[in-house]
Amino acid sequence: MRMAMLMMLGFCLAAPAMAQDAAPAPAPAPQGDARTVATQTCMAEAEKRKIELGATAITLREVNDTDKKSDDVAGVEASVNVVKTDSKGKTKTSKKKFECATREGVVTKFEWK
């Protein structure tokens, strides 16, 4: 008897969920042009290398130049805000530039200026 009631309860709870249509699949992420992809890749690399500067955060300030050399090679020169936090918790923001080159979405050169 208990087993029958548990099965009935399970069916009552599961039936409405099964009756609903599945949500449509999300649209695939748009592929940007080579310059946009290079900028995103280089910013990700800058985030990884922020420890070299003793920074707690890196934010994009301005893209100074992008260069698409071929279908899979691109370069970026950008200005970023570098946020450093001292031992007292006080933050200081400074400006820094970097130069970066990518090939097929992989960083081949990265240099702080």
Residues 32-69 as b/e (b if ≥16 CB within 10 A, e otherwise) read eebbebbbebbbebbeeebeebebeebeeeebeebeee
Look up the pTM and report it. 0.68
- Mean confidence (pLDDT) of the chain: 81
Q: Of the ranges 3-17, 48-62, 77-91, which one carries the lowest mean pLDDT score? A: 3-17
pLDDT computed for residue 18 by the predictor = 53
* Domain residue ranges of the chain, discontinuous segments joined by +: 34-112
